[in-house]
Structure 1
């Protein structure tokens, strides 16, 4: 064997191919992980969209839905569940027939065998709506009766005028 021949030995070629293969496998793994994350994000956004759509529909019906759960039309993988509970508040007034409800809408779907969910929660007022007395609002929100006055608007200097304002 001649020592002055130029080129790579078999060992150097195998080492280079091993390093190259490891790098390519790492790139493929990262790419597939990114695709997986994108698919999960798409399912989550679809769940949020369906929840908002159903909540708007229920709101138009004044939350008087006969069904408390169901499956979305054309979206069999997603199901919803509605919960309407009384909300404890000082603003509830039986004499004036005012009642506040807590509305909770949950949307469920399966992702890789695990159940995922999105929850939207809101308050709904039943009965006639009135302006609450200040003392009742203050007691329910822990606000003070000394409300600061709004600051005066600053004077704006006209830069186009030749003299002082």
Structure 2
């Protein structure tokens, strides 16, 4: 290293000028000279490929999460519609044996099925009421929600 330093000093360069020049500093340190420092094209391509695969996987995860959240929202709405329909039967809507159907906002279809419920163990002849089995179904796309209950209604 001293011989190399003396070679540069003999050319009239000061020590500061020698050390400020990256090429001479590398020569004095004994490391081989490289034309350029930085990333090779292969390293950049590998890093970009890893980044692209990672982003693709993350996008699939987020997409599936949004799809499941949307499905949960539609299921919750259908359940609320079924519960509210079931709640009206016997209060605002009379209990009558039979079936009826309709649609909510052309998205959800509903159907109601009301049948008399047999109570073999109970002598209900003295009651002015009958027990009915009420079923409500709300459907959307290829999914359905069923709710059912027993309600008292007028004797038929």
Q: Give TM-score, length-normalised by structure 2.
A: 0.67
Aligned equivalent of 2:19: none
Q: CA deviation at 1:93?
A: 3.0
Partners of 1:102 and 1:120 in 2: how far apart?
11
CA 1:52–1:78 in 2, change beyond 3 Å: closer, same or farther? same
Structure-1 separation of matches of 2:144 and 2:45: 50
The aligned counterpart of 1:83 is 113
Unmatched tracts of structure 2, length 5 or more: 1-31
Distance 1:100 1:27 in 2: 55
In structure 2, how many angstroms separate the alpha carbons of the residues matched to 1:25 and 1:43? 27
Residue 53 (structure 1) aligned with residue 84 (structure 2):
yes
Q: Give the drift of 1:91.
A: 4.8
Equivalent residue, structure 1, for 2:15: none
**Is 2:101 the partner of 1:69?**
yes
Determine the C-alpha separation between the residues in 1 that align with 2:98 and 2:54.
Answer: 58
| Contact 1:93–1:99 (Cα < 8 Å) also in 2 | no
Number of matched pairs:
121
Describe how 1:127-142 pairs up with structure 2 within 5 A.
127=154
Long gaps (5+) in structure 1: 129-165
- Post-superposition offset of 1:123: 0.4
Structure 2 CA distance, aligned partners of 1:125 and 1:59?
A: 8
Structure with the higher helix share, 1 or 2: 2
What is the TM-score of this pair, normalised by structure 1?
A: 0.63
Alpha-carbon spacing, 1:126–1:13, altered in 2? closer, same or farther (3 Å): same
RMSD: 2.4
Cα displacement string for residues 111-130 of structure 1 (whole angstroms, at most 9, x for unaligned residues): xxxx21111110012348xx
> 2:147 aligned to 102, 115, 120, which one?
120
In structure 1, the partner of 2:125 is: 95
* Kept in 1: contact 2:98–2:113 (CA 8 A): no
